[in-house]
Chains A and B, each alone.
Chain A
């Protein structure tokens, strides 16, 4: 089934630990994104990648890093997790269609204690 797969779906993490959220898409989309979603706030862009080999910073990049070694994979790493990074994280991709709408993964719920 075509789409975006995120892992893990849920994780509880101790503060200070390193964590990588995985994201894989099989739609051959060039652009990929990582968002966080917090109650009462809109989706906030963390990092993005317009094509394999390139990445860019979004609105809230501090404490996060990404890599884009190939078209399909776009992992998000928290080097040293802090409680303020407790959130739901969504990976998304977009193609070159008329609208360029985003396709989202199912989300990763992360709790940092």
Chain B
């Protein structure tokens, strides 16, 4: 079966760096997405990786290793507003998105 694994919850300190990991086993691969979802709100797109390597976008970076079925989202200079759930999703060979359950990130002052 298809599966996306990510930690349920993480805690980090304001101003620090945090890395959220995502491992996947899917039928084919056509890209990996990270979304941010604040409590009670809709998910919003953060990043997309289809080739191996690091994609940087401001304070956020996302890394992909297709051979290892692994990605991480790196958040730098954490701010209180970064408290949210972070969803990892993989697009499979049928171009359907397979979603992880999300990682709830708690930022402490």
Question: Could you list which residues of chain A lie within 8 angstroms of chain B, going by C-beta atoms?
Answer: 40-45, 58, 90, 98-107
**Chain B neighbourhood of A43, CB < 8 A:** 43, 87, 89, 97, 99
A106 to B99, CA, bound (A): 18
**Chain A neighbourhood of B27, CB < 8 A:** none
Least CB distance, A35 to chain B, in whole angstroms: 8
- A42's partner among B41, B42, B102 (CB-CB below 8 A) is B102
Interface pairs A-B: 5 shortest CB-CB: A42-B99, A104-B42, A99-B48, A101-B45, A43-B99
Question: Could you list which residues of chain B lie within 8 angstroms of chain A, going by C-beta atoms?
Answer: 4, 31, 33, 35, 41-45, 48, 87, 89, 91, 96-102
A99 to B46, CA, bound (A): 11
Most central of B43, B48, B98 by chain A CB within 10 Å = B43
A42-B4, A106-B42 known; A101 and B48 CB under 8 Å? yes
Contact A102 B45 (CB under 8 A): yes
**Chain B neighbourhood of A107, CB < 8 A:** 41-42
Most central of A98, A101, A107 by chain B CB within 10 Å = A101
Contact B101 A104 (CB under 8 A): no
